Every structure is written in structure tokens, then in C-alpha cells.
Amino acid sequence: MIDQTHDPKLRSWVESANQAGTDFPIQNLPFGVFRGADGNGRIGVAIGDEILDVPAAIEDGCLQLPGDTACALCASSLNQFMGQGAASWRAARHSISALLACDAPSHPDLLRARADAEMLMPAKIGDYTDFYAARHHATNVGKMFRPDGEPLLPNYLHLPVGYHGRASSVVISGTPITRPHGQLKPDDSPPVFGPCRLLDHELEFAAFIGEGNSMGSRISMGDAAGRLFGVVILNDWSARDIQKWEYQPLGPFNAKNFASTISPWVVTMDALAPSRRPGPERESGDPAVLEYLQPVTNDVLDVTCEATISSAAMREEGIEPLRISRGSLADLTWTFTQMLAHHTSTGCPMHPGDMIGSGTISGPGKDARGCMLELTWRGTEPIQLPDGTERKFLLDGDELAISAWHETESGLRIGFGSCNGRIEPAR
């Protein structure tokens, strides 16, 4: 729903929020959790280079909210607030927007510098499911591993394919990623146990579930959009050599359960309202989508994403990170609403703070491929780095960073911040 909080003319008394190119203008207002002076989590809203300390604003009396909403926003995670539903989220957005608007009294005492804040997980994730929703990614992988057959498996265009991930290994941006050990199968040799040799990133997004459903009930396509609280960047780190040996017959397991990184700021679905488009588009000859997955609202999100890499040597020499891919969330074949409707179609219960991943975002061009497996075509086309080295997969010391944003028609940037992880040696 587009309303006064999206007005491109709206400005804030927080000057950094009015600067061109900021990820966090007053039209965005993403939620996150930062560590307070007492060591506990505090809910905040990013505004320019600052964080609005939401509990402090409530305690000060300048942020007027219904009692249950105010109580939820004084918790140490966003779960309770997520579970209150769209009416509560919208009321909070309107009140926070009014508090930060340039015609309101300024309250610099309620701000915390983003650069100095330690960001924590925005929610306690009970369950995490990762999908495989980008057709270009699935087609590229199918061509690599089934060169003589159809790249897409028979069910791919009929339903959003997914697998249950590991919520305990989802970490916040900046957390070091330890190279995992695993069982590997060298060609023409028995399996061995050792450090992963083919470590990869996956450029993804994830949606947080807000109001859930009871066991045995379903969430319809018409209701699904209102059950999604917001979106973060997701890097689902992958051990490709472990995955190759273990994935048949039941799919990914240890190759995916050692780490998944998310960005700290949850960009709400309300903030992304200007980015919504009809779709997703189907190609000529594709089968019709079954009725329970038919879009009834504009569910495609027009969000641009980029991945960069820097080696330890590049950072030591002051060389800027190298952009290795640029894609769009709009390239997904299945939307988050379709993922949620399908996930609950069996009556599977979802809870506030549960997370669903998009799968690797890949587009039609080579520069839009969202992982090293695709970018280097299984290592046969290495990437050349500015320090004179090359990459087939990630090496120790490499840092992978993903950024994302939607640019409005007026030129405002509704950004997600950054999702970073640096590879540490196996232990």
C-alpha cells in the first residue's frame, strides 16, 4: 500500500537520511536489533547513518503507539512485533515516520551511530526453509550436471522446490565463516574426510514470516503477502564438493548446514511497496500454474543486488573489492508469496520469525550469475582478481559482500545495507 510514508518529497531532521544515495532515507525505515549498554538486544530503525532507539523513544513518550505494539517493540527481538500482523506494522511505520519527519521536533538523544552499533540477529529463527526459485540458476546447474538431458527437472515449473535448512547456523553479517570439514568423494577413489575444497557463496534473499498459521490450516495466495514481514539479504554458503557426494537421494545436508549469513536490517514489505510488480512472467510453452499458486497481488520485487569479492592481498594493498555479479530479485520464477502458499499447502504451521530463502538469484547474462559454481562454470572459467590471482571457488581470507536496493522512480534508494562474510581456515 502506497501512502504518505512513501512520499518522495518527505525529508527527515536526521540530515544523513536526506543525502543522495543513502540506503536508509525516511521512506525506508527498516527494523533491526542492536546491542544495548546492558548487553541485551534493543529494537532500532535505521535512518541515514543513525539508528533510532525505539524503546527509548517509547519511554520518552515521543513515539505514541498502541500498548501491545509498544510492548512488542521494547522486546529484545522482533518476533513478538512480527506476530502482531500488518495493522500493527503499519501503525508503527506511520508513527516512526512522523517522529523522524523534518517538521517534527528533533530528538538527537534518541539516535545511536550505526557505525558504532553491534548488530544482533533481528529475530529468533525457529525454522528456516530455502527454495530454488530462480530458473536461470536451476537451468545452469542442470546443464552442468545433466548435459545430455533436460536441465530442469519435471516438477520445477509446477511448484516452488525447496528444502529445510538449519536455523541454528544462520548468522548476522560480519560473522567469520569457518571452512567446513566433510566427507568428500575424489574421482575414482574411495571417500575421504577433510576440509571443503570447493567453498561457494549463494546470492539470495530471505523473507521473515510475520503472522503465522495453525497446524492443519493453509495460507492462501490472497493472504500470503500480508503474512510476510520483510526481507533481508541472504548468503547461503555452500560446500560444493560435500554437496556433490551427499545430495542423492535426499538433497542438501551438511553441504548447507554450516553457515548462512543474513544482513541485519529487515526492509519491510511496506517499505518495498513501490518495488512491487505483476508476475512472475512465464515463458511460452510453460505449464499453467495451479490455482492455489496463481498470483492475485503484485508480488514480484524489483530489487537490484550485487556481489563483490576481496582477497586478503587486495585488502592489504588497498585495492577496491571486485564486483563479480549483478542481478535482480525480479528474476525469480517463484515469488515469496508463492513459496509461503506452497509451504503451508499441506497444513505446515509457520511462526513469527520463521525464514524462507529464495535460492540463488541468477539472471540471463553471465554477469548476473549468483554463485561461483555458475560464474566459473564448475571452475573451468576462473575469475581474475586485481591482485593477480584467480578464483574458481573461495579461498581462505576471501571476503564476500552482497548489497541490494530498489531505486524508486524519483531516484530514492530503498537499500538493504550489506551482507558480509570472510572465510577463515578449517579448524
SS3 state at 418: strand
pLDDT over 90 (residue 270): yes
pLDDT tens by residue, 178-236: 999 999 999 889 999 999 999 999 999 999 999 999 999 999 999 999 999 999 999 99
Q: By C-alpha distance, which of 130, 137, 143, 246 is closest to 196?
A: 246
Provide mean pLDDT across the span 61-84. Answer: 97
The amino acid sitting at 213 is N
Cβ atoms of 50 and 18 within 8 Å: the answer is no
Annotated catalytic residue: which of 137, 342, 343, 406?
137
Contact between 406 and 223 (Cβ < 8 Å): no
**170, containing H or E segment:** strand 170-172
Question: What CA–CA distance (Å, rounded) separates 373 from 238?
Answer: 10
What backbone phi and psi angles, to 5 degrees, belong to 320? Answer: -65, 145
Residue 148 has pLDDT above 90, yes or no: no
**144/374 Cα distance (integer angstroms):** 9
Asked if residue 420 lies in contact with residue 30, where contact means CB atoms within 8 angstroms, the answer is: no
Q: What is the mean pLDDT of residues 42-70?
A: 97
Asked whether 83 and 71 are in contact (CB, 8 A), the reply is: no
Q: First and final CA of the chain: distance in angstroms? A: 49
Mean pLDDT computed over 91-116:
98
* Average pLDDT value for the chain: 97
Q: Which domains does the chain have, with CATH numbers?
A: 4-120 (2.30.30.230), 128-424 (3.90.850.10)
Q: Is pTM beyond 0.85 here? A: yes
Rounded distance, CA 305 to CA 176, Å?
Answer: 22
Cell of 35: 546491542
Q: What is the dihedral of CA 244, 245, 247, 252, to 10 degrees?
A: -70
In sequence order, which residues have a C-beta less than 8 Å from that of residue 377 and are 6 or more positions away?
144
pLDDT digits (tens, 9 = 90+) for 156-182: 999 999 999 999 999 999 999 999 999
137 is catalytic: yes
Query: Which residue blocks in 220-335 are alpha helix, DSSP H?
Result: 221-224, 240-246, 312-316
